[in-house]
């Protein structure tokens, strides 16, 4: 029974994304919702200019429909399902607004950093406020051990930091065709396994719904991409995976399972600090995937390598939590 639920959830998410794409992509083209490519990015990316963006709307619709249908079929949606969908929709709408500004007003940077940060903080505060009404534990546990620490009033600060930082980290990873779609499928798959192992079935169903939805999107997002997810998709996925880590009480393990996102973010931080302090760049370009591109790697080679890294991180996270 449980295996059937997982299989049907993945299939449903996959099929909804795949079936929406032939309808949605031409619609985006007619609206001229094409991606603007930054001049300072790799020159090889200029040919991608005009590729339909905001495909994250398809991912969000697929996740929402699949989660609600399959959760109702298996059990009844609980507070975890509500919170996961709230964060996904909240950050997705923020990304949607950012994408709209880019494609409609032709302002390549979209929302200002301050505007985006305020939006991310608002969603995070509401998430914690609702969570707090159910006396959610403020303890965090060291993965693979029984050692835990009660953060008390620092826990909401951690949630705020994780949601804002995590959504931005995932957003940074969305720079090559299929890179984020594949990486997200792997990471959410790992959390689905861990949630199921902890009998947190609503969270597992949501995670599996995400896996199916992004794999369906990947059919059209793999190189050469016919559509990009935009900030609509990347911010939604970033907020969602952080929310999953918090609700499963695997906050620290997110660093391992989301290792690709962490490395991408660290590469940007290192690049900025190095340039400001020494005037020199450590990488040819950040985030890290662009560094390998400029070193002569094909886009597909970079993407597959990062997927492989993500898979290793996911397996390591499962091993730490389940078998250590």
How many angstroms separate the CA atoms of 194 and 190, rounded? 6
Task: For residues 92-116, give the mean pLDDT.
Answer: 82
What's the pLDDT at 82? 95
Q: How far apart are CA 93 and CA 65, in angstroms?
A: 16
Average pLDDT, the chain: 90
Residue 130, exposed/middle/buried by CB under 10 A (0-12, 13-18, 19+)? middle
Residue 108 has pLDDT above 90, yes or no: no
- pTM (2 decimals)? 0.93
6 — pLDDT class (breaks 50, 70, 90): confident
Query: What are 229-259's pLDDT values in tens digits?
Result: 999 999 999 999 999 999 999 999 999 999 9
Average pLDDT over residues 125-151: 90
Confidence of residue 175 (pLDDT cuts 50, 70, 90): confident
Asked whether the beta carbons of 307 and 301 are under 8 A apart, the reply is: no
DSSP annotation of 43: G
pLDDT tens digits along 16-68: 999 998 888 888 887 766 565 555 555 555 555 668 888 999 999 999 999 99
Q: Rounded to an integer, what distance in angstroms lies between the CA atom of residue 293 and that of residue 216?
A: 26
CA distance 241 to 228: 19
Contact of 56 with 233, CB cutoff 8 Å: yes
**How many Å apart are CA 188 and CA 245, to the nearest integer?**
10
Nearest to 31 by CA among 52, 55, 48, 46: 52
Who's near 305: CB < 8 A, 6+ residues apart? 292, 297
**Which CB contacts under 8 angstroms, 24+ apart, belong to 301-309?**
302/176, 302/179, 303/176, 303/177, 303/178, 303/179, 303/182, 303/223, 306/179, 306/182, 306/183, 306/260, 307/179, 307/182, 307/183, 307/186, 309/259, 309/260, 309/263
Residue 1 has a pLDDT of 62
Q: Which residues 6+ apart lie within 8 Å of 203 measured at CB?
A: 80, 84, 191, 195, 244, 247, 248
Mean pLDDT of 3-28: 90
What percent of the chain is predicted at pLDDT more than 70? Answer: 91
pLDDT for 16: 97
pLDDT at 311 over 90: yes
- How far apart are the C-alpha atoms of 53 and 58, rounded to whole Å? 11
Determine the Cα–Cα distance for residues 163 and 216; give it in Å rounded to an integer: 25
User: For a pLDDT cut of 90, what percent of the chain falls above it?
Assistant: 69
Q: What is the pLDDT of residues 253-293, one digit of tens each?
A: 999 999 999 999 999 999 999 999 998 999 999 899 999 99
Q: CA–CA separation, 266 vs 243, rounded Å?
A: 21
Q: What is the mean pLDDT of residues 158-187?
A: 95
Q: Is a pLDDT exceeding 60 seen at residue 183?
A: yes
Contact 60, 232 (CB under 8 A): yes
- 78 vs 88 pLDDT, higher one: 88
Give residue 307's pLDDT.
97
**Structure tokens, 225:** 């991409």
Alpha helices in the chain (DSSP H): 2-30, 56-74, 79-104, 113-132, 154-173, 179-197, 201-221, 230-247, 254-257, 259-278, 288-294, 299-318
Residue 194's pLDDT band, with cuts at 50, 70 and 90, is: very high
Question: What pLDDT was estimated at residue 14?
Answer: 97
């Amino acid at each position: 029974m449980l295996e059937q639920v997982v299989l049907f959830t993945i299939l449903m998410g996959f099929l909804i994304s795949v079936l929406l794409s032939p309808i949605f992509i031409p619609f985006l083209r007619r609206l001229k919702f094409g991606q603007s490519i930054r001049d300072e990015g790799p020159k090889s990316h200029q040919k991608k200019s005009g590729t339909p963006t905001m495909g994250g709307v398809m991912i969000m619709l697929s996740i929402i429909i699949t989660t609600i249908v399959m959760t109702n079929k298996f059990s009844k949606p609980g507070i975890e399902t509500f919170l996961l969908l709230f964060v996904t929709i909240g950050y997705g709408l923020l990304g949607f607004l950012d994408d709209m500004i880019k494609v409609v007003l032709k302002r390549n940077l979209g929302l200002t950093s301050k505007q985006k940060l305020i939006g991310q903080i608002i969603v995070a505060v509401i998430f914690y406020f609702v969570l707090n009404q159910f006396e959610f534990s403020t303890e965090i546990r060291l993965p693979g051990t029984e050692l835990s620490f009660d953060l008390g009033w620092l826990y909401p600060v951690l949630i705020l930091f994780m949601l804002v930082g995590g959504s931005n980290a995932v957003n940074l990873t969305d720079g090559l065709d299929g890179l984020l779609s594949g990486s997200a499928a792997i990471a959410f798959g790992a959390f689905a396994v861990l949630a199921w192992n902890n009998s947190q079935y609503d969270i597992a169903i949501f995670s599996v719904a995400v896996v199916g939805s992004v794999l369906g999107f990947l059919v059209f997002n793999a190189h050469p991409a016919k559509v990009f997810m935009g900030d609509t998709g990347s911010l939604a996925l970033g907020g969602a995976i952080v929310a999953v880590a918090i609700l499963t009480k695997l906050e620290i393990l997110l660093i391992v399972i989301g290792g690709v996102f962490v490395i991408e973010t660290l590469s940007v931080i290192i690049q900025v600090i190095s340039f400001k302090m020494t005037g020199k760049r450590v990488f040819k370009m950040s985030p890290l995937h662009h560094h390998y591109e400029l070193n002569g790697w094909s886009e597909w080679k970079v993407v597959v390598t990062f997927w492989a890294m993500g898979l290793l991180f996911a397996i390591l996270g499962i091993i730490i939590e389940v078998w250590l």
